[in-house]
Amino acid sequence: MFRKLLALIALTLTLAACAPQPEAAALVDIEPTATVAPSPTPFPMEGGVFSGAPQDFVLRADELFGEYEAADAGGESPNSAVLEGRADGAAYLAATGRLSGWRIQYNASGAGQAPPYIVNVVNVYESAAGAQLVLSRAWHQDVWALIDSGQLTQLPAIAGLDAEHLAWQTADGAVGVEIVYRNLYIFFTGPGDGGDPLPRLAELALAHLEWIKAGEQ
């Protein structure tokens, strides 16, 4: 189920602030242990939204401090893939204004690390309003149905993560953290093999969002 869900997210997902969501019982209090890496170049913006390509905003190797190595350069998830992967793909694209997406995977450089690999997805939308629609129950039906049925467990909000976000866990321990910031959707996930991936993913989400904010032009 985790790999099927990951494939769906890599194509389409983004979080909605306006959607009715269950209240989290508590905050996950994660203190980042790594200093935020400075952005190498400013991120161009127009009208309060980012105008760059999704690969400009993906997780970078220097944020992982040698603990993980990129499986490859990553790859695009274009809108054509959304049309192929969703029955409502055309309506989804029209409603959200999705422009493109990028996916990259990092594998653990040594044995015993949790999680053994990390996948990062970034999608870019035309507007912040469009991005905020994507994890609504209207456009994020598959994930919300799994949460409602108990096949996914919605996790508490991550303390200090100053953006709309949703965290969940599968029955086999895999964790996903989905974030919307301005017109970006940022997703981190890793399997439960070898230990709880939430602390590492939460730490990365906190630091990576600060890295993006530091690069705003």
* pLDDT over threshold 90, residue 193: no
More confident call, 3 vs 38: 3
pLDDT value of position 34: 41
Range 2-19+43-214 classified under CATH 3.40.50: no
* pLDDT over threshold 60, residue 15: no
pTM over 0.95: no
Query: Two tokens at 58?
Result: 């993906």
Q: Is 15 within 8 Å of 154 (Cβ atoms)?
A: no
**Burial classification of residue 150, based on how many CB atoms lie within 10 Å of its CB (0-12 exposed, 13-18 middle, 19 or more buried):** exposed
- 164-191 confidence digits (pLDDT tens): 999 999 999 999 999 999 999 999 999 9
Give the three-class secondary structure for 66.
Answer: coil
* pLDDT over threshold 90, residue 71: yes
- 196-217 confidence digits (pLDDT tens): 999 999 999 999 999 999 999 7
Share of the chain above pLDDT 90, in %: 70
Return the amino acid letter for 114: A
CA–CA dist 162, 129 (Å, integer): 17
CA–CA dist 16, 129 (Å, integer): 9
Q: Is 200 within 8 Å of 190 (Cβ atoms)?
A: yes
